[in-house]
Amino acid sequence: MSQSLDAYLILSGLLFAIGTFGFLARRNAIAMLMSIELMLNAVNLSIVAFGAFVPSLAGDGALIALFVMAVAAAEATVGLAIVIAIYRNKRTPLVDEYASMRE
């Protein structure tokens, strides 16, 4: 089981689906960002799994996963800064209260 590519890809797909649900269903902006992190981790898992199982990708998979981590760190920094900036104006972390761009 731990030696088959399918097991890792299914695990990655399940984690991605969990993150999708959290992103669609949670009201808190930070909970949505956490769900995005889960989805990024799921994608990283599938990248590393392909790198480990396809011999011509040995090394490339791990390297691309490292780049994804760096980009995820940048995304978390800017995303959380935006959430804190909005919170400072609106006094609430709930995204369905952020309706001012509609009006």
Partner 1 sequence: MALPQTVPFIGWAWDDLIFLVLAGLMLGGGLMVVLGRDIIRSGLFMVLSFAALAGIYVLLGAPLVAAAQVLIYIGAISVLILFAIMLTQSKAGPSNLVFHHQSWAGALAAVGLAVIIIVVVIYTDWPGAATGVVASATTLIANLLFTDYVLAFEVVSVLLLAAVIGGVFLAKREDSPDPGARAVDEPTLGRLPAPRDES
Residues 16-55 that bind partner 1 (CB under 8 A): 16-31, 33-35, 37-38, 41, 44-45, 48-49, 51-55
- What token pair was written down for 38? 């889960």
Of residues 55-94, which lie at the interface with partner 1 (CB under 8 A)? 55-56, 58-63, 65-67, 69-78, 80-85, 87-88, 91-94
Indicate the SS3 state at residue 28: strand
Dihedrals phi, psi of 19, to nearest 5 degrees: -65, -35
Min separation Cβ 92 and partner 1, Å: 7
Q: Which is nearer to partner 1, 91 or 102 (CB)?
A: 91
